[in-house]
Structure 1
Amino acid sequence: MKYENADNIFPEKLLIEIRRFMPEGYVYISPKGGRKEWGSVSGQKSELEKRNTEIYEEYHAGKSVDTISEERYLSKSSIYRILKQFEYM
């Protein structure tokens, strides 16, 4: 992110209006279109969704939480949390 001096970019009337709301400090202006969703750029979100779906399917195929926990290197509470997410879908 690049910082620019507002005096060099905005017209004086706009700066006066902005200073009414925020007399000093930094203001972040997000890019047009807003922020991207977490993990959408790196693919991490889709990987976790795939893993969690696999865990859900393994559990309903008869694997125990203990076994899934050991195989996936996750705590039992994490497995229960993942399974609970699917109850509300």
Structure 2
Amino acid sequence: MIYKNGRDVLPPSLLKELQKYMPGELVYIPKPSEKRASWGEVSGTRKLLAERNQEIYRFYKDGWSISELERKYHLSGESIRKIIVKTR
């Protein structure tokens, strides 16, 4: 991080106001907050998992047992059940 002198970058009135509160101190000024992407949106993982979960639900509706789905997707029975309940 590069430090800049307040005299070089701030209007004089703002500099005076800051000096009232923090004379001679270092101040970090963060960037304006930007909306961050949700988990998995950028990489596509969220979409892939949603598609996988839909597929698991379709197989379950077509008569596959929980144990068959466990073996196919390498997930626990509890995880399969949660996916099925959530996807209904």
**Which of 1 and 2 has greater Rg?**
2
Structure 2 unpaired stretches of 5+? 22-26
Partner SS, residue 42 of structure 1: coil
Which stretches of structure 1, 4 residues or more, deviate above 3 A after TM superposition? 3-11, 24-29
Once the two structures are TM-superposed, the CA of residue 36 in structure 1 deviates from its matched residue by 1.0
TM-score between both structures, scaled by the size of structure 2 = 0.66
What is the deviation of 1:26? 7.9
- Correspondences of 1:45-84 after superposition (within 5 Å): 45-84=46-85
Give structure 1 stretches of 5+ with no counterpart. none
Identity of paired residues, percent?
Answer: 29
- Greater relative contact order, per chain length (Cα 8 Å cut-off, separation 6+): 2
CA distance, structure 2, for counterparts of residue 6 and residue 65 of structure 1: 62
Q: Deviations over 1:8-57 (max 9, x none)?
A: 566537x84xx7xxxx88856422xx111211110000000010000000
- Closer/same/farther in 2, CA of residues 6 and 67 from structure 1, 3 Å limit: farther
State the shift of 1:68 in Å.
Answer: 0.2
Q: How does 1:9-48 map to 2 (within 5 A)?
A: 12=14, 16=18, 29-31=32-34, 34-48=35-49
Over the residues paired in the alignment, what is the CA RMSD in angstroms? 2.9
